[in-house]
Amino acid sequence: MTRKYFGTDGIRGRVGKSPISPDFMLRLGWAVGKALGRKGKVLIGKDTRISGYMFESALEAGLSAAGVDVLLLGPMPTPAIAYLTRTFRAEAGIVISASHNAYDDNGVKFFTSAGTKLDDDIELAIEAELENNILVESSANLGKAVRIDDAAGRYIEFCKSTFPSALRLQGLKVVIDCAHGATYHVAPAVFYELGAEITTIGAAPNGLNINKNVGSTHPQLLQKEVVDRQADLGIAFDGDGDRVIMVDHTGAIVDGDELLYIIAAGLQQRNKLKGPVVGTLMSNLGLEHALSNLGSGLKRAKVGDRYVLEMMRKTGAVIGGEGSGHIICLNSTTTGDGIISALQVLVAVIESGSSLHEIKSGMTKYPQTLINVEVSKRIELQENRKIVEAVAQAEAALQDKGRILLRYSGTEPLVRVMVEGEDIQLVKMQAEKLATVIKQQITG
């Protein structure tokens, strides 16, 4: 069965346009309740978008109509919903969020009772129920709704529990950027209670400013604040708190690939690095080389956190993630968690006795160029003679000191041309040549 609504990470789009509308969310809540096949209870959390109030009410009504009890968490990070779904023994958790997108987008994503993303068969069952008319349970069997007032406190304590009890953050000066998003009332508390001297930015959500010039996708303000305040480092989350990037004391960005390396190095130092580290097809070649120097290896999954998690389970890995900062620490939690990932980085920094700037120097990033080529149709790139020849010529020019990746975007009519290597000018030139050939072959 082909999916009509679900993408790689739930359902997402522009508010007010199908399917991100109140009537659809009502039907979706009912469909989820029916697909679960039992009364149980479902958690609903959200980020700070103004439309979250509207969709929370609609989902609550649909679930209640299906006879499912609802626990309302209010604004909470996505990984918090995963954790609380487990601890409340709920049948499922629902997150109302469009992650790092602007406020006028929204969406929903789901967690199972184990705190993991839904399996394909459950998503298909929900889509099948969406084709049916809503049949309301009898009044005696309607679901009830309860607001959980201590959700934030529960999650704060969970995050702190993943940090070694023998360590403290005393003496560490940290700037935290909450992206005016779901971490605004929990992240500062976590780092403060562990002893850090904190300055917080991006922690005044008004429903319209989530991710606006702040957060992991717009770190310029954080970079400035770290340097101006002479802080040791900065931490930036995205709107729903499942991604993190960091800034060292010089104001330089430390991205997801570098954070993966730092966490892996720390785990190895404590003899807790099991299996390979899992990245994606887009992970920097420098990460692969740095992990090799650690005596570990990199396994590449398809782009997307669900594919990273699948590869981690398959290979027995405890750490995996993407350059965007979506990092999964399976030794601590079940999904990508920006706060917990940042804490794992700080463990490595403290135990090494080095600064964030010094510890990241164990990995040298290769220059990388990404060009998006707009296309009106799809062809098999590996079967086109001209494209195959162009790739072979580019690989020869890189002389085994680089990497080439061609892939179609999963959400846009684009071919992504990625080239990386030691020489930035050579990398750019080869990427432009490949992009030109692809455009000629697909668009004429």
CA atoms within 13 A on the CB side of 241: 32
Enter the tokens of residue 99: 């992650």
Per-residue pLDDT of 144-190, as tens digits, reads 999 999 999 999 999 999 999 999 999 999 999 999 999 999 999 99
pLDDT band at 46 (very low <50, low <70, confident <90, very high): very high
Enter the tokens of residue 131: 């084709």
pLDDT above 60 for 1:
no
Which is it for strands 368-374 and 402-408: parallel, antiparallel or unpaired? unpaired
Percent of the chain, pLDDT > 70? 99
d(CA 35, CA 38): 8
pLDDT above 80 for 2:
no
Kindly report the pTM of this predicted structure.
Answer: 0.92
Catalytic residue among 21, 99, 296, 332: 99
Enter the tokens of residue 340: 């917990």
pLDDT above 80 for 257:
yes
Active site residue 296: no
Whether 423 contacts 432, CB under 8 Å: no
Which domains are seen in the chain, by residue range?
11-149 (3.40.120.10), 155-360 (3.40.120.10), 368-443 (3.30.310.50)
d(CA 78, CA 43): 12
Per-residue pLDDT of 333-386, as tens digits, reads 999 999 999 999 999 999 999 999 999 999 999 999 999 999 888 889 989 999
pLDDT of residue 411: 65
